[in-house]
Amino acid sequence: MDFQKIFTGKSDRNYDNPDPSFSIDDQPLLQRIHWFRSLYLSTMPLLALYGALTTKLLTKTAIFYVIYLALNSICITAGYHRYWSHRSYKASRALQYFMAILSCASAQGSIYWWARNHRIHHRYTDTPKDPYNAKAGFFYSHIGWLLLKRDRRKLGYVDTSDLQSDKLVMFQHNFYVPLAYLMGYAIPIGVCGLGWGDWRGGYFFLNVWRTLYIHHTTFCVNSVAHYIGDLNYGDSTSAKDSIITAILTLGEGYHNFHHEFPSDYRNGIRFYHLDPTKWAIWFCSLLPTFTMNEFTAQVKKSNKQWIIIQGVIYDVSTFMFEHPGGIPLLDSAIGKDMSEAFNGGVYSHQNAARNLLNHLRVGSIVA
Ligand code: HEM
């Protein structure tokens, strides 16, 4: 996130300068520091400490903290990491929307930025082309790489065309800053403040502590997971398997396995390996999913009265005769994607209609 741009309207991101004779990597250290990012990341622990010493933790705030943190974390590990960076499983569009929006609360940059860096990390692990090269030292791989500007031309190259052609990914990238403020500040603080009057606890625990925790646990995957643990599956990289990192990172600690088999949706392959991300993905796979062809086949061959709204399939057979908009409109919608019509193209439905949808849900569409 370019904090200087947000606060000042100007950016010092001159490391993208196309002039081949200029490289930010060759400039003096003071010019290479990301000042706004460094200030933000270094004041967070101080703010967190101050907040913890001066703010009473209410039970409701604590419960909400655990739930919101767990959801944000899983959106990073299952979403940013295992889905968008590695495409290790197929996700329904509804799940993609959920993960893309909720992950903004973690202030870890957009999917596009994160997944591109991560793909580079895997292809060029432990080399100067790796954005968080563990061979450059523990501090550098943990947080140092974020504090210094790098010449992107000197990082490795990876294909990101799939990300660039994904409308959801690019929407999240282009609107990342407002989405991060909304999901990271407005919603969590607003829930605590409006819900039970705990504005202060909302800020210190739901924003400062949550962000600090989720930042450093993710950073641990780049640092701790390359320093502590065992080389169980190969020794071609510094990535190691460790239960300590697994506990900290919702299962990302079986890092040696992950570097050897990055397209496996699991990191801990034994059933007793602590990998909550793997369990969450497995759980979601129990919900029925259909490809577009399977959906059409169900409608045409099995006479299912199904329609699609925003990647989710609804069975309208029981609701057809109660529809306030009439039978013909719903009848003509069967077998089709009615997202646009439902959201204003024909009629802009209110919350009552959206609540009804939850009862008609039968599955979701996967690409
Ligand atoms: C399962 C999907 C649907 C549900 C649960 C649903 C539900 C509802 C509900 C509850 C209303 C009353 C107003 C409101 O609460 O917003 C309504 C009105 C309406 N719906 Fe739907 N609807 C669905 C799909 C559709 C589709 C696909 C179309 C168009 C192709 C459509 C067209 C309309 C129209 C035109 C009205 C306005 C009726 C009027 O006030 O004259 N609906 N719908």
For residue range 130-165, what is the model confidence (pLDDT) as tens digits? Answer: 999 999 999 999 999 999 998 888 899 999 999 999
Predicted pLDDT of residue 222: 96
Residue closest to 366 by CA, chosen among 169, 89, 78: 89
- For the chain, residues classed under CATH 3.10.120.10 are 290-365
330 alpha carbon to ligand 1 midpoint, in Å? 8
Q: Is the CB of 316 under 6 A from ligand 1?
A: yes
Please identify every stretch of the chain with a pLDDT value under 70, giving residue numbers as ranges.
1-18
- CA dist 239 to 50, 143, 223, 270, Å? 35, 17, 9, 18
172 and 106 in contact (C-beta within 8 Å)?
no
Contacts of 5 (CB under 8 A, 6+ apart): 11, 13
Q: Is the CB of 325 under 6 A from ligand 1?
A: yes
Bridge partners (DSSP) listed for residue 366:
92
* Length of the chain, in residues: 367
Contacts of 254 (CB under 8 A, 6+ apart): 241, 246, 267, 268, 269, 273, 275
Q: What is the pLDDT of residues 242-292, one digit of tens each?
A: 999 999 888 999 999 999 999 899 999 998 999 999 999 998 888 788 999
239 and 228 in contact (C-beta within 8 Å)?
no
Give one DSSP letter per residue of 215-243, joined into a string: HHHHHHHHTGGGTSSB-SS-SSSS--B-H
Q: Is the CB of 20 under 6 A from ligand 1?
A: no
- Buried b / exposed e along 25-35 (16+ C-beta atoms within 10 A): eeeeeeebebe
Predicted pLDDT of residue 1: 53
Q: Is the CB of 243 under 6 A from ligand 1?
A: no
Residue closest to 55 by CA, chosen among 208, 188, 215, 181: 208
Does ipTM surpass 0.95 in this model? no
CATH superfamily of 290-365: Cytochrome b5-like heme/steroid binding domain (3.10.120.10)
Determine the residue of 318, 322, 323 to mutate for testing ligand 1's pocket, defined as the one with the most ligand atoms within 8 A of the Cβ atom.
323
